[in-house]
Amino acid sequence: MLDEVISRAREGSGGAVVLRGEAGTGKTTLLDAAAERAGASGRSEAAGRGEARGRGEAAGGGGVMRVLRTTGVESESDLAFAALHQLLWPVTGSLDALPEPQRDAVSAALGLAAGGAGDRFLLGAGVLSLLAEAAAPDGLVCVVDDFQWVDRASADALLFAARRLGTERIAMLLAVRGDAQVKGVPLTVDVRGLPESAAAELLESRHGAVPARVRRELVTLTGANPLALGEISARLTPAQLSGREPLPDPLPGGARLFGDRVAALSSRARLVALVAAAEADLDLVLRAADRLFAEPTVRTGENAGAARGALGELEGTAREALGELEGAGLAGVSGTGVRFRHPLIRSAVHEAAAPADVRRVHAVLAELTEGDRRAWHLAGAALGQDEHVAAALVAAAERARDRGGYGAATTALARAAELTPEPRARAARLKDAAVAAWLGGRPGQAESLLAEARERAGGDVALAMEIAQLRGRFELNAGNAAEAVRILAAGDSLDMLADAVEAASYVGDTATIVELGRRAAAHPEGFLRDTVAGIGLTLDGDASGPGLLRRALARAGELEDAAGYLWATAAASALGEPDLAAELAGRAGRVARVSGMAGQLPVVLEFVATAERIAGRLAGSQAVSEEGLALAREAGYENTVAAHLANLAVLAALRGEEEPCERQAREALAIAVPHRVGLRAGVAAYALAMLDLCLGRHAAARDRFTAVAAAGAGAGHPIVVWRMAPDHVEAAVGAGDEAGARAALEAYERWSAHAATPESHALLARCRALVDSSEDAFGEALRLHTNPFEAARTALLLGERLRRGQRPGEARAHLRMAWETFERAGARPWARRAQGELRAAGESGQAPPAAVLDALTPQELRIASLVADGLSSKQIAAQLFLSPRTVEYHLYKIYPKLGIGSRTELARLVVLQKAPVAGDGML
C-alpha cells in the first residue's frame, strides 16, 4: 500500500495514508522501508535534531524523489509548530515561491518573520504550497512518525495539506499508535502482528532454531507483536526457548516491557534518561544532567534517596551516563537529539521516577531554557497553584495564538487556568482557552472550557457577559440558533446586540430583529449601529430605517474586513437590492481569503457561493460550496454545513438532478430544522420547490412555495419568502392559480418598496408581466435587467408567450438568447425548455458555441475566470487555497480542453463567454 501511494505521487496523483497499530507492531520499520525505496538507501531530509540525511535517488528511476521526515515527540506536543518546524526547515529556501499571504503565514508559524500566521486555512494552504515546491521536479515523500504526539498546530496544517494532495507529486505517510483516527485521511492500514513465518524468522535471527510449538505459543501470547517478541524472548532461558521447560506464566515484561531494564541502570543513567524524557535536545540534556549531578538530594526512584542519593553515587559526567543509556540499547544520540529506541521506554522512565524528581528535573530545565519551553518546564515543576508560572504559560499561549497555533494556545491556557489562584483570572483564562479551541476547530472542547469558565465567573458581570457572548456565537455556528438569540439578546453592548440580530436573522425571527434594532438605535451613530438599527426599523415599517441603511452603505468604501462587508450585504438585502448584496458578498469573500479570519472563512463562503449561483455561474457556485462544505466540516461548524448543502441542493435543482437535490436538501434540513436555522431550512425547502419548477411541475412547485411562505421562524424565513417571490409567481401562473400569483406579487411589492437598483425593478416588472399578461411589462423587465441569467428567464417567458400567440418570428430572438444563456450557465432544464420552444418557433439551431466552457470542471472554471480577471498563478493560489503548481497543473489541463495554448487566449475566451458579475438575490 505504501509503495502504491508513493508510485501514484511520483506520477502526479498525490495522497496520504495512515499506518495505525499498537506500539511495537513495526510501523516505524515500514516507514523506514518505504522511505528507503523512495529515496536511494533511505537517505532523507529529516528535519530537526540533526537527522538530515540529504536527498536520495528514487528507486526504479525517474530522478530524485525527495524525502522529508519528522517524528512526534511527546515532550514537544504542547509546543506550537514544533513538528512543522522540524519537517519544513530543509525547504524553507523555497518560501519566496509561495503567494505572499501563504508565505507570510508559514514564515510566521516557523518563527522566521514577525506577525501572525492568521487563519489556519491560510496556513494550511501555505504548507501545501511549500511541500509542492519541495516536490519539484520528481516528487516528495513526507514521513511523519508518532503522529499522535505531533503538536496540534502542526497536525492541523499537515492534515489540511493531506486532504488536498490529489494533483501534487506528494505522498504523505503518517504513523499513529493505537486506535486513534486521523481525521480526513480515509486511507488507513492497520499494522498488526507478524505472520507466523516472519515471527519465526525474527526469533531465529536472535536465538537460533526455536521449536514450532514454542514459537506458536509465543506468537499467540504476544499477538505476534515484534517488539514484544523481541523483548520477551530475550528474557527467556535457553531451556524455555528450546521447549525443555514450560514458558513462564505470565510472560516476563507484560505491559512494562522496559521496566526491568530501566531499573537495572545506574542512578546517573536513570537520571539522564529522566532528563531526556522531559527534553530531547542533546545539549540541554547534558547541561541539565551535569547540574543535577551536583545535587545530592536528587533521587531516581521512590526508594532511591537513601541508598543512591549520595553525591558519590552520582559521580561522573553526563556524557558517561548517556553512554551507559546507549549501551543498554534504550536510547541513542541522533544528530543534536536524544531519542529513545521506543516510546514505551520513555513511559517506563517516567513510571520509575519519583514525582519530586520529575519536578526537580523540570525546574533545572526551566533555568536553562526560555520562551515556550521554559514556560512548560516551569509548569512541570509547579507544586500547587502559582501565578508566576501561570503568567508564563499565558505568554506562551499568546505567542502560539499569534502564529496560528490555536491548539497549543488552548492547552497552555487551560493549564494556566489550573495554576491560577485568583478565581476571576482563572475564569478569564478558561474563557480565552475556549476561544482558542473554537478557532482551532474543536467546538466540543471549546464548549466544555466555556462551561467551566461560566461556573467560575462568580459575580463578575462584565466577564459573565463576555462568556455569554461567546456561548451565543458557539451556538450560532454549531448549535441551536434560537438559543443563541436568547443568550445574546441579554446583552446591551452594540457588539452583542449585533450578534443577537445576526442570530435572529438566521432563525427568521422578525419580531426579535425589530426589538433588537430599536435597542441598537440608542447607541452612538456608526456603520454597525446604522446597519443593525436600520434593519430592525425597516422591518418594522419605520420610515427612518431605509435612511439609516443608505447611510451605512455610503460607508461601504471604508470597509476593510469581511465581517463589515457581510453587514453591508445584510443592509442591501434589507433594502430589497439583492444584486448589490451579491456584489458585497463577493467582496467579503475576496477579503476573507487573504486576511486571516481565524476560521470564519467557511461562513463567508456561504454568501459567496450564493452570490455565484444567483449570478448564474453555477459551476463557480458549486466549487465554492464544495470548498466551504469541506472547510465547515473540518471546523465543526454544523450550521454552515447545512448552508452549503442547501446551496448545493439548489444547484442540483437548476441542473434538473433530482436525486442529488433531494438528498442534499434532506441532509441540510436534518441539521437546520432541529438547530432552528430557518434561513438554511428555507433554502433547502426552496431547492425542492425549484426542482419542481425547473422540471415543469408547476402545481407541485406552487404548493411547495406556498408551504415555504407559511413556515414559521426556525423552519422558514421571511428573506427566503421574499427572494423566492418571482419563482413563486411563475409557479402559480403556470399552475393556473391567479389568486395565489397575485398574493405573492403583492407581498413582493411591499418588500421591494425601498429598492432602487435596476435588477430589483426588473424582477418586479417580470412578476407584474406574468400576473397581468402584459407584454409591455416584459419589455420593461428586459430593458432593466443587469443579470443575464434572469434576463434569460424573462426572455424565455416572453418568447413562450409570443410563440403561443402565433408570432414565432418575434419569439425566436428571445428564445435563442435564453437558450444560449442557459447553456452557458449549465441550467439544463431551462435550456431544454428554451430549445424546445425555439424549435416549435421554426428554428432548429445549433448548440451555442459558448458551451465549450462546459468542458471544464468547477475548479478549472474558477481558475479560468481568475485568469480572465488578470490574476497570476500565485494570486489565484492565494484566492483558492491551492499551491501555485496546482494552478499551473489545472491550466495545462484547461488549454487542450478548450483548444487554446496561452493565458491570453483563455482570458479572451472567458470574457466572450462568461456572464458578467451580477445577482438577483442571496437565498
What are 552-570's pLDDT values in tens digits?
999 998 998 889 999 999 9
Looking at residue 312, what is its pLDDT?
A: 38
Is residue 701 over pLDDT 60? yes
Which residues have a Cβ under 8 Å from the Cβ of 333 and sit 6 or more positions away?
282, 322, 326, 339
Q: How far apart are CA 498 and CA 260, in angstroms?
A: 63
Yes or no: say if 219 and 197 are a contact pair by the CB < 8 Å rule: no
Instruction: Give one word for 399, left, alpha or beta, with left for phi > 0 and alpha for psi -120 to 50.
Output: alpha
Tens of pLDDT along 752-794? 888 888 988 999 999 999 999 999 999 999 999 988 889 999 9
Helix 318-327, helix 282-293: angle, nearest 10: 120
Helical residues (DSSP H) of 39-99, grouped into ranges: 82-88
Is residue 504 over pLDDT 80? yes
Is residue 244 over pLDDT 80? no
Average pLDDT over residues 574-579: 85
Average pLDDT over residues 802-816: 93
Q: How many CA atoms lie within 13 A of 285 on its CB side?
A: 31
- CB count in 10 Å sphere of residue 317: 13
Looking at residue 803, what is its pLDDT?
A: 93
Looking at residue 756, what is its pLDDT?
A: 87
Beta strand 337-340 with 331-334: parallel, antiparallel or unpaired? Answer: antiparallel
- 3-state DSSP assignment of residue 337: strand
Tens of pLDDT along 351-374? 788 999 999 999 999 999 999 999
Tens of pLDDT along 579-617? 888 889 989 988 887 765 556 789 999 999 988 887 777
Is residue 41 over pLDDT 60? no
DSSP type of residue 46 = E
Q: How far apart are CA 627 and CA 605, in angstroms?
A: 8
DSSP type of residue 75 = G
Is residue 650 over pLDDT 90? yes
Is residue 810 over pLDDT 80? yes
- Between 704 and 341, where is the model more confident? 704
Is residue 44 over pLDDT 60? no
Average pLDDT over residues 826-839: 90
Number of helices and strands (H, E) in the chain? 48, 8
- Distance, C-alpha 917 to centroid of its chain: 28
Which secondary-structure segment (H or E) carries 176?
Answer: strand 170-177
Tens of pLDDT along 144-187? 999 998 998 899 999 999 999 988 999 999 999 876 678 778 88
| pLDDT more than 70, % of the chain | 89
Cell 547540574, located at residue: 291
Looking at residue 858, what is its pLDDT?
A: 79
Tens of pLDDT along 64-79? 679 999 988 888 888 8
**Peptide bond before residue 849 is cis, with ω within 30 degrees of 0:** no
Yes or no: say if 471 and 450 are a contact pair by the CB < 8 Å rule: yes
Cell of 412: 497552555
Cell of 891: 491550466
Angle among Cα 879, 650, 594 to the nearest 5 degrees reads 15
Yes or no: say if 481 and 673 are a contact pair by the CB < 8 Å rule: no
With bands split at pLDDT 50, 70 and 90, how would you rate the model's confidence at 922?
very low
With bands split at pLDDT 50, 70 and 90, how would you rate the model's confidence at 334?
confident
Q: How far apart are CA 738 and CA 130, in angstroms?
A: 62
Yes or no: say if 46 and 32 are a contact pair by the CB < 8 Å rule: no
Looking at residue 296, what is its pLDDT?
A: 59
Looking at residue 617, what is its pLDDT?
A: 78
Strand-pairing partners, residue 177, are: 21
Q: How far apart are CA 155 and CA 134, in angstroms?
A: 19
Phi–psi pair at 765, nearest 5 degrees: -65, -40
Is residue 522 over pLDDT 90? yes
- 3-state DSSP assignment of residue 216: helix
With bands split at pLDDT 50, 70 and 90, how would you rate the model's confidence at 306?
very low
Cell 409570443, located at residue: 802
Q: What is the DSSP string of 408-433?
A: HHHHHHHHHHHH--SHHHHHHHHHHH
- CB count in 10 Å sphere of residue 528: 17
| pLDDT more than 90, % of the chain | 51
Is residue 305 over pLDDT 70? no
- Nearest Cα neighbor of 875 from 72, 80, 100, 89 is 100
Give CA torsion, residues 359, 364, 370, 376, to 10 deg.
-10
Cell of 722: 421574499
Yes or no: say if 189 and 18 are a contact pair by the CB < 8 Å rule: yes
Is residue 497 over pLDDT 90? yes
Looking at residue 59, what is its pLDDT?
A: 38
- 3-state DSSP assignment of residue 340: strand
Sort 226 into a burial class: Cβ within 10 Å, 0-12 / 13-18 / 19+.
middle
- Between 627 and 879, where is the model more confident? 627
Looking at residue 848, what is its pLDDT?
A: 55
Looking at residue 228, what is its pLDDT?
A: 73
Q: What is the DSSP string of 851-879?
A: GGGGGS-HHHHHHHHHHHTT--HHHHHHH
Looking at residue 845, what is its pLDDT?
A: 58
Looking at residue 923, what is its pLDDT?
A: 47
- Between 850 and 902, where is the model more confident? 902
Tens of pLDDT along 855-868? 788 788 889 888 98
Domains of the chain: 2-190 (3.40.50.300), 196-254 (no CATH), 260-422+436-442 (no CATH), 852-913 (1.10.10.10)
Looking at residue 49, what is its pLDDT?
A: 39
Looking at residue 39, what is its pLDDT?
A: 67
With bands split at pLDDT 50, 70 and 90, how would you rate the model's confidence at 55?
very low
Which secondary-structure segment (H or E) carries 177?
Answer: strand 170-177
- Nearest Cα neighbor of 141 from 331, 9, 293, 253 is 9
Q: Lowest mean pLDDT: which of 311-320, 603-612, 725-734, 737-746?
A: 311-320
Phi–psi pair at 175, nearest 5 degrees: -115, 135
Is residue 854 over pLDDT 80? no
Q: How far apart are CA 645 and CA 640, in angstroms?
A: 9
**Peptide bond before residue 246 is cis, with ω within 30 degrees of 0:** no
